[in-house]
């Protein structure tokens, strides 16, 4: 036991083990894990810092962010409160706590937090965005409008701000102003599908169905995977008596969202209208599987079963509806007819007696007044319970009649901007995110041989969809670090593989510095061990990407407007300026992998990504070409080469590659194609 402890202390780098932890280093690793979305692991490191230095605000703040992403909103609020207790002058703490409070329906508390944060950072557009949304939630529309006006002054190219102001205008019944704001949103960002969808929805409410269809066509062109756009376009087509077109849209909506209630219900009605009774029954069966208490779907299914000859099934559905709505005379009428058809004359006479009494009551004005319905209104709200509307098309409930748009609170302050980006680099690791759309198994003979080596107790995977660690997995790798340390001290013959394995453990717990050191030791022990070069390249790349992101955040802090209040203290980690020359070590490692394994396509792919990131697009294309020479079905290479061609101005070739990538399973390629197809050479 004493020897084991000695070896651990000897072989692990300073700051890793010991009662006196290097909090700056552990804090840096924690933020690194947070940046790469490994939230459970980040919390573990932050707990160590809090235990060693409970008076620091930063570990509580970043632990709050991690908990936000794990949807522990109460825990996030508590951590941000502790951070504020230790340093009340950091606007980010109020911002994250405000978001956590919103998710707990504490809107008043969120308003208080965002107002306080704006005192320290009045030029932060995200704060004004969230404050406006909170005021809208409280129905303080004038206050919300003032906040949105401020947001637009700060970010005049932010299309969502105009949509928010349009939402406020509609809530105040000013549709003219709403349309003006949506038009402005389209002017500033015509490639945003949400702005077209919002105007299409507004025009639906204005009964401008042809214009609505045109706008929704554009929204679908830009975002083909949005079921709501198809549902809304179906409604526009239905109002223009284009039933086949509407059914086609419901089909498309259900391909995107197979469980969409409105899609199934309305498609069932339209199928019934055109005589496709059996498939209409399938739709209503689906609706009733999801919601057995939907009486309108039950009655519609009963009518269809009646038409297709299943009279007993129809009678059962009619009886279910009548049990819930005993004054629904239409139900008695159809049940009486069905009972006569199966020879149940006594039951039919009983139903007919109910109908006769109802007629007499109406004649004598003794019965309840029938709820009025409009023959001209072809739709009903989803929440409508008036059984007389069973044959009407369903539309979504909207208390404010506002157009739908992406109305997001901004709370995850480390989130990256959404933009077109390359498919990520590959790594040798143990864990991969599941992807229901793509089932590609990446194989290389030498890696398969390593997986049969007794030293490799867990098989290596070649993947560019790395999964964050669970708590149990993180605990395992911390233990394996110790185990591999002891084993490498015993046997020099297996040093290269054991140090590689320990390096991979460090890599998985986001400690890139120790990982790189172990990969280097592995290479020194065996200069032909290709996996160590490959994973050292990805570890170096990720370390540089994190440092670059940190530099950007620090520059933003430096350039932020100064206020009379004290600013947040400097971060505990040392910021390193990252230059293109720093990536040369990454390239050197990939060069060595290619030298040792010239048929290993993933090394060419990673090097191509590196060239593209550095702006050397021609060199990137050469490497992507090599990847596809080695593997003609390498979807990620087609996707990235397509983007590279587009960046070089060759849209035609780029779209051809993106089309191939979509064919091979990267369906996001189709959205990119639509954005650039109007700019073909």
In tens, the pLDDT along 568-626 reads 333 333 344 556 778 899 999 999 999 999 999 999 999 999 999 999 999 999 999 99
Q: Cβ–Cβ contacts within 10 Å for residue 479, how many?
A: 11
Among residues 339, 255, 266, 327, the alpha carbon closest in space to that of 302 is found at: 339
Taking residues 403-423, report their average pLDDT: 54
Given a cut of 80, is residue 80 above it in pLDDT?
yes
Which helix (DSSP H) or strand (DSSP E) does residue 429 occupy?
strand 427-429
Packing angle, helices 261-273 and 295-307, rounded to 10: 30
Q: At which residue do the structure tokens 């170096």 appear? A: 540
452, pLDDT greater than 70: yes
398-423: average pLDDT: 53
Query: CB of 442 within 8 A of CB of 197?
Result: no
Between 2 and 88, name the one with better pLDDT: 88
Residue 9 has pLDDT above 60, yes or no: no
Among residues 75, 79, 69, 77, the alpha carbon closest in space to that of 37 is found at 69
Higher pLDDT, 511 or 666: 511
**What is the phi-psi region of residue 140: left when phi exceeds 0, alpha when psi lies from -120 to 50, beta otherwise?**
beta
Residue 192 and residue 159 in contact, taking contact as beta carbons nearer than 8 Å = yes
- Which ranges of 308-392 would DSSP assign to H, the alpha helix? 311-324, 329-341, 345-363
Q: Are 226 and 671 in contact (CB under 8 A)?
A: no
Can you tell me the distance from the alpha carbon of 594 to that of 539, in angstroms, rounded to the nearest whole number?
A: 17
Centre a 10 Å sphere on the Cβ of residue 672 and count the other Cβ atoms it contains. 20
Distance CA 500, CA 487 (A): 12
The predicted structure's pLDDT at residue 196? 94
Distance CA 499, CA 482 (A): 12
Q: Give the residue among 552, 465, 450 at the shortest CA–CA distance from 500.
A: 450
The residue assigned the tokens 């002054």 is 153
Distance CA 636, CA 198 (A): 33
Which CATH number does the domain 259-368 belong to among 1.25.40.10, 2.40.10.340, 3.30.60.50, 3.10.150.10? Answer: 1.25.40.10
Cα→Cα distances 577→17, 542, 554, 571, Å: 29, 15, 10, 15
Q: Is 380 helix (H, G, I), strand (E, B) or coil?
A: strand
Range 275-297 average pLDDT: 92
For residues 95 and 413, the answer to whether their CB atoms sit within 8 Å is yes
Give the range among 89-98, 387-396, 513-522, 667-676 with minimum mean pLDDT: 667-676
- Angstrom distances, CA of residue 570 to CA of 42, 91, 412: 20, 14, 21
Report d(CA 4, CA 560) in Å as an integer: 51
Q: Give the span between the Cα atoms of 28 and 531, in whole angstroms.
A: 26
Mean pLDDT over 271-290 rounds to 92
Alpha helices (H) in 526-616, listed in sequence order: 530-559, 584-596, 601-613
Contact 534, 569 (CB under 8 A): no
Average pLDDT rounded to a whole number, residues 321-348 = 92
Summarize pLDDT for 643-654 with one digit per residue, the tens: 999 989 888 898
Over 70: is that where the pLDDT of 641 sits? yes
Give the least confident one: 331-335, 372-376, 439-443, 548-552: 372-376
Average pLDDT over residues 416-424: 66
Say whether pLDDT at 398 is over 70: no
- Tens digits of per-residue pLDDT, 12-54? 333 333 345 688 888 888 888 888 888 888 888 898 899 899 9
Q: Where are the domains of the chain?
A: 259-368
Of 20-24, 64-68, 353-357, 464-468, give the lowest mean pLDDT range.
20-24
Interhelix angle 651-663/668-676, rounded to 10 degrees, is 160
Q: If DSSP states are collapsed to H, E and C, what string results for 443-478?
A: CCHHHHHHHCCCCCCCCCEEECCECCCCHHHHHHHH
| Mean pLDDT across 85-100 | 92
Q: What are the two backbone dihedrals, phi and then psi, of residue 432, each rounded to the nearest 5 degrees? A: -140, 140
Ordered alpha helix ranges (H), 103-174: 107-120, 125-137, 141-154, 159-171
Residues of the chain with pLDDT > 70, as a percent, come to 84
Average pLDDT over residues 430-457: 81
Residue 492 confidence class, pLDDT cut points 50, 70, 90 = low
In the predicted structure, residue 367 carries a pLDDT above the cut 50: no
Percent of the chain with pLDDT over 90: 51
Lowest-pLDDT choice from 68-72, 330-334, 526-530: 68-72
**Mean pLDDT of the 414-436 span:** 72
pLDDT computed for residue 445 by the predictor: 92
Q: How large is the average pLDDT for residues 297-308?
A: 94
Of the ranges 226-240, 455-469, 470-484, 650-664, the best mean pLDDT one = 226-240
CA nearest neighbour of 33 among 22, 45, 21, 23? 45
Half-sphere exposure of 553 (CA within 13 A, CB side): 20
Give the model's pLDDT for residue 302: 93
Q: What token pair was written down for 428?
A: 């040798």
> Which residues lie below 8 Å from residue 196, measured CB to CB, with a gap of 6+?
186, 215, 216, 218, 219, 222
Instruction: Output the pLDDT for position 396.
Output: 79
Check: CB of residue 422 under 8 Å from CB of residue 647. Answer: no
Distance CA 80, CA 87 (A): 10
Q: What is the pLDDT of residue 427?
A: 93
Q: Are 506 and 520 in contact (CB under 8 A)?
A: no
CA distances from 336 to 298, 300, 370 (A): 17, 16, 21
Task: Please name every residue paired with 427 in a beta bridge, in sequence order, or none if there are none.
Answer: 463
Rounded mean pLDDT, 161-190: 92
Of 333-337, 542-546, 605-609, give the lowest mean pLDDT range.
Answer: 542-546
Cα–Cα dist 288/267, whole Å: 14
pLDDT at 74 over 60: yes
Backbone angles phi, psi at 381, to 5 degrees: -70, 155
Mean pLDDT of the chain: 83
DSSP SS3 for 290 = helix
Residue 11 has pLDDT above 60, yes or no: no
H/E/C letters for each residue in 205-241?
HCCCHHHHHHHHHHHHHHCCCCHHHHHHHHHHHHHCC
Which residues contact residue 446 at a Cβ distance below 8 angstroms, ignoring those fewer than 6 apart? Answer: 530, 597, 600
Angstrom distance (rounded) from CA 559 to CA 556: 5
Supply the angle between the helices 261-273 and 243-256 in degrees, to the nearest 10: 150
Which residue, chain included where needed, has tokens 């302050």?
A: 413
- Tokens 């007794």 correspond to what residue? 454
Overall size of the chain counted in residues: 681
Residues in Cβ contact with 464 at an 8 Å cutoff, skipping those fewer than 6 apart: 423, 424, 425, 426, 427, 636
Q: What is the pLDDT of residue 141?
A: 92
Helix or strand (DSSP H, E) at 627: helix 617-630
The pLDDT value given to residue 5: 31
Q: How confident is the model at residue 222 (pLDDT cuts 50, 70, 90)?
A: confident
Per-residue pLDDT, 254: 92
DSSP label of 395: E
What's the distance, CA 389 to chain centroid? 36
């Amino acid at each position: 036991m004493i020897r084991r402890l000695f070896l651990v202390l000897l072989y692990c780098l300073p700051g890793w083990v010991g009662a006196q932890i290097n909090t700056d280093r552990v804090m840096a690793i924690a933020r690194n894990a947070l940046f790469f979305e490994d939230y459970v692991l980040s919390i573990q490191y932050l707990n160590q810092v809090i235990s060693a230095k409970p008076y620091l605000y930063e570990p509580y703040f970043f632990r709050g962010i991690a908990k936000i992403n794990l949807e522990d909103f109460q825990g996030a609020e508590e951590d941000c409160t502790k951070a504020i207790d230790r340093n009340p002058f950091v606007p980010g703490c109020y911002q994250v706590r405000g978001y956590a409070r919103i998710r707990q329906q504490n809107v008043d508390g969120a308003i208080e937090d965002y107002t306080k944060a704006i005192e320290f950072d009045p030029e932060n557009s995200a704060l004004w965005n969230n404050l406006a949304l909170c005021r809208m939630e409280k129905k303080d529309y004038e206050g919300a409008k003032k906040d949105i006006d401020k947001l637009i002054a700060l970010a005049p190219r932010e299309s969502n701000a105009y949509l928010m102001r349009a939402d406020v205008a509609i809530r105040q019944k000013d549709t003219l102003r709403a349309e003006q704001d949506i038009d402005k949103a389209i002017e500033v960002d015509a490639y945003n599908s949400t702005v077209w969808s919002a105007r299409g929805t507004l025009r639906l409410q204005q009964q401008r169905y042809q214009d609505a269809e045109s706008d929704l066509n554009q929204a679908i062109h830009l975002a083909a995977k949005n079921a709501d756009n198809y549902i809304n376009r179906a409604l526009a087509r239905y109002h223009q008596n284009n039933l086949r077109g509407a059914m086609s849209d419901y089909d498309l909506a259900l391909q995107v969202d197979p469980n969409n209630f409105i899609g199934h219900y309305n498609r069932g009605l339209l199928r019934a209208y055109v005589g496709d009774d059996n498939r209409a029954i399938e739709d209503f069966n689906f609706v009733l599987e999801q919601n057995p208490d939907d009486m309108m779907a039950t009655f519609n299914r009963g009518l269809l079963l009646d038409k297709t000859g299943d009279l007993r099934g129809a009678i059962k559905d009619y009886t279910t509806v009548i049990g819930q709505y005993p004054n629904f005379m239409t139900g008695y009428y159809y049940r009486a007819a069905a009972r006569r058809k199966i020879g149940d004359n006594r039951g039919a006479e009983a139903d007919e007696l109910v109908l006769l009494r109802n007629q007499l009551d109406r004649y004598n004005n003794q019965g309840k007044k029938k709820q009025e319905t409009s023959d001209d209104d072809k739709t009903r709200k989803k929440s409508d319970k008036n059984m007389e509307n069973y044959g009407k098309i369903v539309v979504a409930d909207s208390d404010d009649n506002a157009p739908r748009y992406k109305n997001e609170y901004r709370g995850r302050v480390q989130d990256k901007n959404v933009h077109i980006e390359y498919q990520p680099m590959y790594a040798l690791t143990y864990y991969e995110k599941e992807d229901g759309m793509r089932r590609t198994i990446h194989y290389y003979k030498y890696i398969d041989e390593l997986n049969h080596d007794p030293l490799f107790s867990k098989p290596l995977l070649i993947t560019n969809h790395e999964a964050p660690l669970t708590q149990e997995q993180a605990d395992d790798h911390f233990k394996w670090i110790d185990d591999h340390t002891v084993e490498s001290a015993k046997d020099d013959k297996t040093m290269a593989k054991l140090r590689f394995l320990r390096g991979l453990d460090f890599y998985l717990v986001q400690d890139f510095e120790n990982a790189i050191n172990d990969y280097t030791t592995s290479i020194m022990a065996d200069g032909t061990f290709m996996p160590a070069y490959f994973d050292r390249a990805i570890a170096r790349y990720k370390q540089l990407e994190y440092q670059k992101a940190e530099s950007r955040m620090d520059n933003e802090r430096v350039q932020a407007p100064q206020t009379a209040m004290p600013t947040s203290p400097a971060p505990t980690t040392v910021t390193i300026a990252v230059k293109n020359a720093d990536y040369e070590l990454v390239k050197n490692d990939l060069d060595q992998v290619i030298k040792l394994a010239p048929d290993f396509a993933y090394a060419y792919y990673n090097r191509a990504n590196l060239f593209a990131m550095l702006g050397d697009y021609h060199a990137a294309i050469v490497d992507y070409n090599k990847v596809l020479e080695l593997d003609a079905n390498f979807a990620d290479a087609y996707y990235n080469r397509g983007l590279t061609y587009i960046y070089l101005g060759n849209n035609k070739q780029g779209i051809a590659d993106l089309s191939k990538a979509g064919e091979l399973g990267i369906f996001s390629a189709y959205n990119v194609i639509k954005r650039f197809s109007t700019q073909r050479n």
